[in-house]
Amino acid sequence: MLAEEKNIIESLAREFLDNALTLRYDICTCQLCRNDMLTNIISKIPPEYLSPPQLTQQTVMEQARLKYRGEIVRVALAAIESVSKNPSHSLSEDRNHSFKSLLNQIVQDRGLDFRQYHQGLIKRKIAMRMRSHKVESYAGYGRLLTKSPEEFDKLLEELCINVSEFFRDKEVWITVKYLLENLIKQKKIRNDRSLRIWSAGCANGEEPYSLAILLQEILRTEPWAFELELAASDIDKKALLAAQAGAYPKENLKNVEDRYLKNYFITLADGRFQVKDAIKAMVKFLRLDLIRDDSIREADVVVCRNVFIYFNRSLQEQLLMKFYRSLKAGGYLVMGKAEILLTEAEEIFKEVDSNARIYQKKEA
């Protein structure tokens, strides 16, 4: 192998390694471990990747990048795993332990429990906050949280990840509208004058307001005097305040039809759109932790979209049982596009629409 060639591979490996380790506060990334990882990577590059190509000086890095990248990515990930599991020096901090302590601190100080959420996701979110403060250990970050309530708020915002939009996954809402129309028709036939809908994990309110708009639309053509309860809950107090204010930037409304925009929103001086009072009045917001708190009872429809993805399997199971108990016989559960019903739950829910991820509570 030519010296120049080895340098190229080394620099590519180093570049990849640095990128891959940027947010890895969960393992030791000291210089010694980095060097071990690099040596490990170089030793694993198969010989065919090391035969000297005929390259000009200008294109040498680009061509080498194209040629070796895939291989370096593969061996570098293996090297990170292997060295971090078996570092060649003693560790000053047990990162698993200090990560758990940090999650315990969040429970104790703010009453939010992320211990059973997908740990990879939570670690990435925490790493982003740590990076913005250039803190390198979980223990150090824990100390920062103790000193700075503002940073604690920012971390919780990051962990709660409350991005949403009106009529998220537009095509799903065509099915949801159809479902609501049918439900109302059946209720009329049975002379059942109550309708209870729960938007669980409602973030900044776009989802419950989308439901309220659809109900208004249905009732415009099918008037019906009934008692509507449209409850919307979230764990995040800040999100709930934003939801109650009901004002949104244009990009959150990209799926809103023009006539809905005209009928159900007003434009604010700053260019945002605010839901009209008639829509606001239909939704009752409440703070509720889906894991710890009691749920809404006797619901006809539970909409819980893009919330399951944060929970591990056992929490998802608990949540599905909770929704099962929440729903009336024959009630509907609407999940997110990327979320699938656990096989265990097929005993208690039947699929109504696989594309829109709508399920119906089976009779006991």
Ligand X SMILES: C[S@@+](CC[C@H](N)C(=O)[O-])C[C@H]1O[C@@H](n2cnc3c(N)ncnc32)[C@H](O)[C@@H]1O
Residues that bind ligand X (CB under 6 A): 160-164, 168, 201-203, 207, 234-236, 239, 289-291, 305-307, 310, 336
Shortest Cβ distance from residue 201 to ligand X (Å)? 3
List, in sequence order, every beta strand (DSSP E) within 148-250: 194-200, 227-234, 247-248
Nearest-approach distance from CB 289 to ligand X, in angstroms? 5
328 three-state secondary structure: strand
Q: Which stretches of 313-353 are DSSP H helices?
A: 313-326
Return d(Cα 66, Cα 43) in angstroms, integer: 20
Shortest Å distance, C-beta 294 to ligand X: 12
Residue recorded with tokens 């764990």: 235
Comparison of 136 and 257: residue with beta carbon closer to ligand X:
257
E-strand stretches of 82-154: none
Query: Which residue(s) pair with 254 in the sheet?
Result: none
Q: Which is nearer to ligand X, 307 or 345 (CB)?
A: 307
Minimum separation from the CB atom of position 91 to ligand X (A): 32
Nearer of residues 195 and 200 to ligand X, judged by Cβ: 200
Name which of 80 and 172 has its Cβ closer to ligand X: 172
* Nearest alpha-carbon partner for 176 in 362, 8, 357, 363: 357
CB of 163 to ligand X, least distance (A): 5
Q: Which is nearer to ligand X, 84 or 306 (CB)?
A: 306
CB of 320 to ligand X, least distance (A): 14
CA nearest 231: which of 243, 248, 245?
243
**Residue whose pair of structure tokens reads 């696989």 in the numeric block:** 354
What are the residues whose beta carbons fall under 8 Å from the beta carbon of 68, sequence distance 6 or more? 8, 9, 12, 45, 49
Residue among 29 and 233 whose Cβ is closer to ligand X: 233
Half-sphere exposure of 102 (CA within 13 A, CB side): 26
CB of 162 to ligand X, least distance (A): 3
Q: Which is nearer to ligand X, 30 or 163 (CB)?
A: 163
DSSP 253: G
194's tokens: 């109550």
Amino acid at 15: E
